[in-house]
Amino acid sequence: MMRELTVRIDGAQLEAFSDALVASGALAVSIEDADAGSPQEQAIYDEPGAAPAALGWARSRVTILIDANTDGTRLLQRAAVGILPAPPPIDSEREVSDVDWVRATQSQFGPIRIGRLCILPSWHDPPSEDALVIRLDPGVAFGTGTHPTTRLCLRWLDAHPPRSLSVLDYGCGSGILALAAAKLGAAIVAATDIDPQAVAAARANAAANGVEGIYTEPGALPAQPFDVVLANILTNPLKALAPTLAARLAVGGTLVLSGILERQADEVIFAYARQGLRTRLWAVEDGWVCLTATRAQ
């Protein structure tokens, strides 16, 4: 079974919070006017083609679909970091039929092509053209290639294939970045997450794709540094993890950071500069940025 949560927030933080919910593991997010049908109902759109007067309503009702095993309170806490003063309280919660979810998922998730990589749900046939196929279905762990933060990391990997290098996917979720690195020729692949469900999902996805590697929680990682370290998390955890991630990076290696809103990029750059890393903006997509950092010595 799936679960559906509803919360209410104001329009000022709506866009960033919705993106953060997906980045934190929500399967789907929908938004409507919390005052619809009342005298307080707002119209935020004007003529066709015109920009909306606001990004959301004065009070927006956000409906969040999550897996039955996902902790809704924890998800809201993670999504609120750096965006809301506190996580919004849950207004309502109900179970949603698995059958409805399967139909909705299969209609919404199709093949995703990023350079040579093709993220392919199990219900789709392989592409006819030559591609590096990653079989991956939506599940309990974040990372299917649909969110801009994941796409940015996949684009970086495709542009900088880690042939014969060691790669660490820190905060791995589904393990999609580790899988992509392996498909692109990495010699050693490791993936880690503080969520045991994510580690289990990443390990299962690796087996389904014929990929070998290390899939474990952070405390059990080998002590070796890595040539490439990928971390697609969120801004505040990335800042807190700066010493940890910097220590995992080999001399001459590259650190790839995503899950960062454009307005938060300078905060992250400063945090990693304090670790002696040269950090720069690599790419931007839909208001999210990907940063890269290098260790000279």
- Per-residue pLDDT reduced to its tens digit, 227-262: 999 999 989 999 999 999 999 999 999 999 999 999
Fold exhibited by the domain 2-104:
Alpha-Beta Plaits (3.30.70)
Q: Element (H or E) spanning 148, and its range? A: helix 148-159
Cβ–Cβ under 8 Å, residues 112 and 119: yes
3-state secondary structure of 220: helix
pLDDT in tens, 94-116: 987 655 545 555 555 677 889 99
pTM confidence score: 0.67
Residue boundaries of the structural domains of the chain = 2-104, 143-294
Sheet with 166-170, strands from edge to edge, namely 214-216, 188-192, 166-170, 226-232, 249-261, 288-294, 278-285
Q: Mention the CATH class of domain 143-294.
A: alpha beta
